[in-house]
Amino acid sequence: MRKQEYGADESPSSSTGQTLENQTTLPGGGTAIHPLRHEVMAETNARPALPAASPCICEHLVFLSGELDAQKDWENVRRVAQQLGKTLGDEAEQQLVLENDSVIFKWERHTEFCSYTAVRRNPPGGEDSVFGRVINIDLITGSHAAAPARQDAESPGNPIQTPAIKQSGKPVVALRFYVDTPQNPRWSATGETDLLTDTRIVAVTANGGKTKIMTDFRFHADGYSRFLVQDTSGNVNRLGRVIQRLIDIETYRTLALITWPLAKSAGQDIGHIDGELRRLIQEIGSEGSDGPEDQARLLSELTALAARAETVGAETNFRFSAAKAYYSIVTSRLGELREERIEGYQRISSFIERRLGPAIRSFQAILDRQNSTSERIARASSLLRTRVDVELERQNQDLLASMDRRSQLQLRLQQTVEGLSVAAVSYYCIGILSWLLKGIPKAFMPIDPAVITTVAAPFIILSIWLMVRRIRKSAHDSGKKS
> Quick one: pLDDT at residue 167?
58
**Of 278 and 2, more confident:** 278
Residues 394 and 435 grouped into a single domain: no
Is the pLDDT score of 202 beyond 60? yes
**Regarding beta strands 225-231 and 56-64, do their DSSP bridges make them parallel or antiparallel, or are they unpaired?**
unpaired
Question: Contact at 8 Å (CB) between 195 and 228?
Answer: yes
Please tell me the predicted confidence (pLDDT) of residue 76. 76
How big is the CA angle at 114 (ends 264 and 263), to the nearest 5 degrees?
Answer: 5
pLDDT in tens, 6-46: 433 443 333 333 333 444 454 555 556 777 877 777 777 77
Higher pLDDT among residues 287 and 450, named by residue: 450
Check whether residue 393 and residue 439 sit in a common domain. no
Residue 425: inside a domain: yes
| Contact in structure between 323 and 356 (CB atoms under 8 Å) | no
How many domains does the structure of the chain reveal? 3
Q: For residue 91, is pLDDT > 90?
A: no
192-209 CB burial, b ≥16 within 10 A, e <16: eeebbeeeebbbbbbbee
Residue among 64, 430, 266, 9 at smallest CA distance from 438: 430
Contact indicator for 213, 206 with CB cutoff of 8 Å: yes
Say whether both 395 and 432 belong to one domain. Answer: no
Residues 77 and 151 reside in one and the same domain:
yes
Instruction: Mark whether 181 and 87 lie in a shared domain.
Output: yes
Q: What are phi and psi of 151, to 5 degrees?
A: -85, 135
Over residues 230-240, the pLDDT tens digits come to 999 888 999 99
CA of 188: how far to CAs of 194, 227, 351, 475, in Å?
Answer: 9, 10, 22, 111
| Residue, of 32 and 91, whose pLDDT is higher | 91
Confidence of residue 395 (pLDDT cuts 50, 70, 90): confident
Q: Tell me, yes or no, whether 25 lies in a domain.
A: no
Q: What is the pLDDT of residue 348?
A: 92
pLDDT band of residue 365 (cuts 50, 70, 90) is very high
Range of the domain at 467: 412-473
Phi and psi angles of residue 149, each rounded to the nearest 5 degrees, phi first: -65, 145
- Domain finish residue from 247, 272, 290: 247
Beta strands at 150-151 and 159-160: parallel, antiparallel or unpaired? antiparallel
Structural domain contains residue 332: yes
Judge contact between 77 and 176, C-beta under 8 A: no
Residue 462 and residue 434 share a domain: yes
Residue 161 scores a pLDDT above 70 = no
User: What is the layout of strands, in order, in the sheet containing 170-180?
Assistant: 2-3, 95-99, 103-109, 114-121, 56-64, 170-180, 225-231, 211-215, 202-206, 340-341
Question: Rounded mean pLDDT of 433-447?
Answer: 78
| Residues 6+ away with beta carbon under 8 Å from 330 | 248, 249, 252, 253, 256, 352, 356
Listed residues 247, 270, 296: the one ending a domain: 247
Looking at 219, 247, 275, the residue that finishes a domain is: 247
Query: Quick one: 105 and 212 in the same domain?
Result: yes
DSSP state, residue 98:
E
pLDDT tens column, 212-261: 999 999 888 878 899 999 999 888 999 999 999 999 999 999 999 999 99
Residue 109's pLDDT band (boundaries 50, 70, 90)? Answer: confident
> Do 179 and 104 fall within a single domain?
yes
> With contact defined as beta carbons under 8 Å apart, do 243 and 49 qualify?
yes
Burial classification of residue 50, based on how many CB atoms lie within 10 Å of its CB (0-12 exposed, 13-18 middle, 19 or more buried): buried
Whether 127 and 226 map to the same domain: the answer is yes
- Determine the pLDDT at residue 32: 65
Do 243 and 277 share a domain, yes or no?
A: no
16 in a structural domain: no
Angle 338-343-346 (CA atoms, 0-180°, nearest 5)? 65
- Average pLDDT over the chain, rounded to whole? 78
23 assigned to some structural domain: no
Question: In whole angstroms, what is the distance from residue 133 CA to residue 57 CA?
Answer: 12
Considering the domain boundaries, does residue 7 fall inside one? no
Q: Say how far apart CA 180 and CA 291 lie, in whole Å.
A: 80
Q: How far is CA 308 from CA 48, 126, 283, 371, 426, in A?
A: 44, 57, 20, 13, 77
Are residues 205 and 58 part of one domain? yes
pLDDT at 147 over 50: no
Q: Is the C-alpha dihedral spanning 149, 172, 100, 190 positive or negative?
A: positive
Is residue 235, in this structure, part of any structural domain at all?
Answer: yes
As a whole-number percent, the residues of the chain with pLDDT over 90 amount to 20
Q: Are residues 280 and 348 in the same domain?
A: yes
In a domain, 108, yes or no: yes
